[in-house]
Amino acid sequence: MTKHLQPSTDPITEDRIYIAEALKGVNTAALIMSIVHMTGDTSILRGSIRPKLMDVVAAGAEAEGDEPFGEGGFTQEEMASVRAQALEAIESYRDRGCTLPTLDEDSVTEMFHYMSGRDLDTDYAAFVKEEIALDGVDCRGLVLDDAALQERAQNFPVIIIGAGMGGVLAAIRLDEAGIPYTVLEKNPGIGGTWYENCYPGCRVDVAGHSYSYSFEPNHDWSCHFPLADDIRAYYDHCAEEYDVKKHIRFNTEVVEAVYDEAEYSWRVRVSDQDGREEILTARAIISAVGQLNRPKMPDIQGLDSFTGEVVHSGAWRGDGALAGKRVAVIGSGASAFQIIPELAQTTVKLEVFQRSPAWMFPNPAYHSEVSEGQKWALKKLPYYSKWYRFWLFYAAVEGVYEQTLADEYWDSPLSVSASNDEMRKSLSAWIESQVADPELLQKVLPRYPPFGKRILQDNGTYLAALQHPDTEVITTGIRACVADGIITEDGSLHEVDVIVCATGFHADHFLFPMKIVGCKGIELAEQWGEDNGRAYLGITVPNFPNLFCIYGPNTNLVVAGSIAHNAESQVNYILRCFRLLFENGLEAMNCRQAIHDQYNAKVDAANAATAWGSPLVNNWYKNSAGRITANLPFRIIDYWKMTKQPNPDDFIFSGRSL
């Protein structure tokens, strides 16, 4: 069973001086919630001190200390007052043996309204209550409480492809449900994209305290935006903690999966690191390969003739071997944005080949460590960690959603709506405040709507690196590579020792390069075409019974919070699909084409009405025909509702009655 949904019961033993010091580093809004839990007194919720869900640009620019999204608009005086009240509440709680009063449902509802600054409707309240599990109840696992169901589950082996965030999650949940499974992982270790992306500076740009499974919080993240190594270690810890590692076959790559219609099962051909092949069978497959796991090299004439080293950000080799070298970085997306500040410190020459500049959110805490006081509060203050997760999640989800939506009557090449344009002006001002040289400013100021591409978290290090005396930003296009370096369209030769390709992934090639064959010999790559992945809810695909995807087509989140949340929704749905099979004593379920098509029509229409779907922008979310194949366009609350429980009418069931 999931172990850590219950609020922490670590007793507080620290003295007043320690506590007062620790409180200096904590989140004020979450602290107020903890005060209510400790005192049972909700009157603070009706006072004048209230959080404001500021827009994230303003919040970042005004952030104090280590707080990733700002302090919720509290003044210094208000924060001091809250800390003083907290100190009294904590001492009283400690001195009475750390017992808590019971809060009734109305009080909890009032707390949600207070934190969010608005009256949450019933659905939204249910959604966030489940997400942070205040009551410690795990609604997302599958409990098979009937012997017949348990027996069917035991005869339903599942293959999970990938041991990254989604695969480890699926393994934990299948394990709990008593469904046998094997995880096939092509790498020697756990972590997926976080295993492969080990370039200098690699870290997540979503707050770590929400970038984790809801049932396994990590109160020891060293940074607010954790480094790749720490994220790998977290997923490794989860696999250990829930004892699923023994079911993972490392260095094992899935080459092909073929559905056997007569047997209602999948035959999966795998290859180990020595090329030895084997066929495994399973009743269902869960693909957890993600969207960003196959590095995409740029199609540049003569790249092979370059005699120096060529390395892709997503397949990094060596450690710091670029020091003292002349390096070219191709690309200016999320990966380049993190690599460049690191390389600028040690290379003798750094040339950044930028095709389009990135928008960036001001976030002074982007590289900050989590204070010891914050770690203490997460572990010891009653319910603090749960409300802190809610705070991060809510700010990230609701803070900017409106600005992503396109107004069909808005007519500008630079923005998609009035509020998007407001954001453009704030983000432009943030860039302008960092760049004095007008020529460089011309290069780094984006001329497309915010949210047209992923907006990056910025603490000033990126633009500082571009202004390093040994760094140059080159916006002239690349014509070719030659033995000594890169030739640009103006005929100049840029001599370098190493070319770093931070050029992204084959994100539009879902489940690539596996060969997946469904009913009547239909190949997934044929059904989807080269780069047009579609699935119902991003999870199931007609003609491919019992094949389920985590982070499949149209499930990427642009502003809607942590992808871990979405993966939990998908695994919840998949488990309930299995339950439907077990309850009906059937073997396979195949998504109805019409349901799938209706859903995808809605997805396409909604995506087309966003900044990233705008014809003004190019991005990795679109396929070669301009259709958005990567992103979920809906609010995360809507997706949560859609994936809460499968509708049996959406599927054609088959199989021998069991």
Angle at CA of residue 285, ends 284 and 290, nearest 5°: 155
Residue whose CB is less far from ligand NAP, 251 or 488: 488
**Shortest distance (Å) from residue 366 CB to ligand NAP:** 10
**Shortest distance (Å) from residue 454 CB to ligand NAP:** 4
Using CB under 6 A as the binding rule, whether residue 554 contacts ligand NAP is answered as no
Q: What span, in angstroms and rounded, lies between the C-alpha atoms of 576 and 398?
A: 28
Q: What span, in angstroms and rounded, lies between the C-alpha atoms of 15 and 23?
A: 12
- Return the closest-CA partner of residue 570 out of 583, 553, 585, 595: 553
Using CB under 6 A as the binding rule, whether residue 502 contacts ligand NAP is answered as yes
Residue whose CB is less far from ligand NAP, 356 or 419: 356
Q: What span, in angstroms and rounded, lies between the C-alpha atoms of 63 and 356?
A: 28
Considering only 5, 23, 158, 204, the residue that binds ligand NAP (CB under 6 A) is: 204
Using CB under 6 A as the binding rule, whether residue 614 contacts ligand NAP is answered as no
For the chain, how many residues are written?
658
Residue whose CB is less far from ligand NAP, 331 or 533: 331
**Shortest distance (Å) from residue 494 CB to ligand NAP:** 13
Token pair listed for 634: 């809906």
**Shortest distance (Å) from residue 225 CB to ligand NAP:** 8
Grouping H, G, I as helix, E, B as strand and the rest as coil, residue 465 is helix
The one segment of 63-71, 247-255, 352-360, 635-643 that binds ligand NAP by CB under 6 A: 352-360
Using CB under 6 A as the binding rule, whether residue 356 contacts ligand NAP is answered as yes
Evaluated on CA atoms 145, 150, 156, 157, the torsion sign reads positive
Residue whose CB is less far from ligand NAP, 40 or 477: 477
Residue whose CB is less far from ligand NAP, 598 or 618: 618
Residue whose CB is less far from ligand NAP, 354 or 426: 354
Grouping H, G, I as helix, E, B as strand and the rest as coil, residue 504 is coil
Using CB under 6 A as the binding rule, whether residue 164 contacts ligand NAP is answered as no
Provide the residue type at 425 as one letter. K
Select the residue whose beta carbon is closest to ligand NAP and give its number: 333
**Shortest distance (Å) from residue 338 CB to ligand NAP:** 6
> What residues from 503 to 532 belong to the interface with ligand NAP (CB under 6 A)?
503-504
Grouping H, G, I as helix, E, B as strand and the rest as coil, residue 193 is helix
Using CB under 6 A as the binding rule, whether residue 353 contacts ligand NAP is answered as yes
Give the ranges where 438-544 is alpha helix by DSSP (H): 438-444, 461-466, 524-528
Considering only 51, 208, 333, 373, the residue that binds ligand NAP (CB under 6 A) is: 333
**Shortest distance (Å) from residue 379 CB to ligand NAP:** 26
162 φψ region: left (φ > 0), alpha (ψ -120 to 50), beta (else): left
Residues forming a β-bridge with 472: 351
Tally of helices (H runs) and strands (E runs) in the chain: 20, 21
Residue count at the site for ligand NAP (CB under 6 A)? 26
**Shortest distance (Å) from residue 361 CB to ligand NAP:** 12
**Shortest distance (Å) from residue 228 CB to ligand NAP:** 9
Using CB under 6 A as the binding rule, whether residue 362 contacts ligand NAP is answered as no
DSSP state of 269: E
DSSP state of 396: H
Residue whose CB is less far from ligand NAP, 359 or 390: 359
Considering only 167, 208, 217, 331, the residue that binds ligand NAP (CB under 6 A) is: 331
Residue whose CB is less far from ligand NAP, 2 or 631: 631
Using CB under 6 A as the binding rule, whether residue 113 contacts ligand NAP is answered as no
Give the full edge-to-edge strand order of the sheet including 547-549.
248-249, 181-184, 158-161, 284-287, 547-549
Contacts within 8 Å (CB) and 24+ apart, 233-238: 235/163, 235/164, 235/165, 235/168, 235/190, 235/191, 235/192, 235/194, 236/189, 236/190, 236/191, 238/168, 238/172, 238/213
Residue whose CB is less far from ligand NAP, 205 or 241: 205
Backbone angles phi, psi at 501, to 5 degrees: -95, 100
> What residues from 470 to 489 belong to the interface with ligand NAP (CB under 6 A)?
478
Are residues 486 and 494 in contact, defined by beta-carbon separation less than 8 angstroms?
yes
**Shortest distance (Å) from residue 547 CB to ligand NAP:** 24
Q: Which residues contact ligand NAP (rule: CB under 6 A)?
A: 203-205, 292, 298-300, 313, 330-336, 338, 353, 355-356, 454, 478, 502-504, 618, 620
